[in-house]
């Protein structure tokens, strides 16, 4: 059984990416052959249009994954574009992809609805994503809710390919990542790069503390009791603090008579501690970039072997190979 997922290197990873996705990928690793994770630089190219930025983001994403605990002996980590077979499979799938299906996909649809002009890369994005999944005979694809539609597209495209050319591609299933892990940003809305409200995993502790101090809180007087469950600051604290510390903090909220500054300080301390080990590992990996490139190279070799096998099967099925 193969688990596969990808994440776009569009900027520094934030707490939302960690608790909503990366941590869960890492928990799901097991056997090298069975857990494939890749850095989706070809997808990022639809938005990141600067060579140096894309190269740097891709390397940063690899460093972040490794620092956060992705173990190259228990998972295969690679860069999407290092497996050119995927782009070829993408074409085979594109030839049978209904326009209507792609027009309904939200990334394209939302952009059009805003009256913005979209390019063919964005339109085709779900087909490339289908190729990413199908190229490795993936069974399970852990993703956030926003990506479930794309897994359906992958299933549809695989189903119709099989229908036209005979059983060739494995139909994948989405595994919805824990939705309760929806992490709020400094403004209380969902944390997202596009809202500019992120707290980044590897932000320098000093600057992180400053950003934490800016988290929005309500203006009720200090001594009034407050409900912890609905407070974004408390939600963030509970991601990092141990159960008993969390319970003690919740109690303080309910009693009232505390300042939010105190909670912010506790959050800053807890989050800096939480990522301290990962931060040290990242420094170590960053100092050995050649080792990181070797890991990505090894990962690509494992992934390519599988993708070449699936591509050949698909080529034979549709008649572009003997």
Residues in the chain: 322
When asked if residue 239 is in the footprint of ligand ADP (CB under 6 A), the reply is: no
Told to judge if 264 belongs to the known catalytic residues of this protein, a careful annotator would answer no
Smaller CB separation from ligand ADP, 186 or 314: 186
Six-digit token string for 121 = 């890369």
Distance (Å, whole) CA 85 – CA 211: 43
> In the complex, what is the shortest distance from the CB of residue 118 to ligand TRP, in angstroms, rounded to a whole number?
15
- Residues 153-192: x/- map of binding to ligand TRP (CB under 6 A)? ----------------------------------------
**What six digits make up the tokens of 129?**
């994503």
- 145 and 106 in contact (C-beta within 8 Å)? no
- Any contact of residue 131 with ligand TRP (CB under 6 A)? no
**DSSP state, residue 39:** E
For the CB of residue 79, give the shortest distance to ligand TRP in the complex, in Å.
12
Per CB under 6 A, 182 contacts ligand ADP: yes
Q: Which does 43 bind (CB under 5 to 8 A by kind): ligand TRP, ligand ADP, none?
A: ligand TRP
Determine if 304 is a binding residue for ligand TRP (CB under 6 A): no
DSSP code per residue over 296-309? HHHHHHHHHHHHHH
Return the HEC string of 161-196: HHHHHCCCCCCCEEEECCHHHCCECCCCCECCHHHC
Catalytic hit among 109, 112, 193, 265: 193
DSSP conformational letter for 145: G
Binding mask 28-47 for ligand TRP (x = CB under 6 A): ------------x--x----
Which residue in 84, 106, 181 sits closest to 142, CA to CA? Answer: 181
- Is 114 one of the annotated active-site residues of the chain? no
Q: Which does 183 bind (CB under 5 to 8 A by kind): ligand TRP, ligand ADP, none?
A: ligand ADP
Neighbours of 16 (CB within 10 A): 23
Q: Which of 109, 111, 112, 175 is catalytic?
A: 111
Whole-angstrom distance, CA of residue 223 vs CA of residue 254: 10
The reply to whether 173 belongs to the active site is no
Shortest reach from residue 289's CB to ligand TRP, in Å? 24
CA separation for the pair 297, 79 (Å, rounded): 9
Interface contacts to ligand ADP, rule CB under 6 A: 7-8, 10, 16-17, 20-21, 143-144, 181-183, 190-194
Q: Which residues are identified as catalytic?
A: 111, 190, 193
């Amino acid at each position: 059984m193969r688990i596969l997922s990808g994440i776009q290197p569009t900027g520094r990873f934030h707490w939302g990416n960690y608790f909503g996705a990366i941590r869960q990928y890492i928990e799901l690793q097991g056997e090298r052959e069975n857990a494939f994770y890749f850095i989706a630089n070809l997808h990022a190219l639809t938005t990141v249009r600067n060579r140096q930025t894309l190269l740097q983001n891709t390397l940063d994403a690899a460093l972040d994954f490794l620092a956060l605990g992705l173990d190259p002996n228990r998972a295969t980590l690679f860069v999407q574009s290092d497996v050119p077979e995927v782009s070829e499979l993408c074409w085979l799938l594109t030839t049978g992809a209904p326009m209507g299906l792609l027009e309904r996909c939200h990334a394209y649809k939302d952009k059009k609805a805003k009256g913005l002009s979209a390019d063919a890369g964005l339109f085709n994005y779900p087909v490339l994503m289908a190729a990413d999944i199908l190229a490795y005979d993936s069974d399970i694809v852990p993703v956030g809710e926003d990506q479930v539609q794309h897994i359906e597209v992958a299933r549809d495209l695989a189903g119709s390919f099989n229908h036209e050319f005979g059983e060739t591609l494995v139909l994948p299933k989405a595994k919805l990542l824990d939705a309760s892990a929806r992490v709020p940003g400094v403004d209380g809305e969902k944390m997202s790069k596009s809202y500019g409200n992120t707290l980044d995993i590897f932000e320098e502790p000093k600057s992180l503390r400053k950003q934490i101090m800016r988290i929005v809180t309500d203006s009720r007087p200090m001594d009034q009791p407050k409900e912890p469950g609905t407070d974004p600051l408390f939600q963030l604290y509970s991601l990092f603090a141990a159960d008993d510390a969390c319970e003690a903090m919740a109690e303080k909220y309910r009693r009232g008579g505390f300042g939010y500054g105190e909670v912010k300080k506790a959050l800053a301390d807890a989050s800096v501690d939480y990522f301290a080990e990962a931060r040290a590992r990242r420094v170590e990996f960053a100092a050995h970039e050649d080792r990181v490139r070797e890991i990505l190279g090894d990962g690509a070799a494992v992934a390519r072997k599988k993708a070449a096998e699936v591509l050949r099967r698909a080529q034979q099925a549709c008649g572009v190979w003997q």
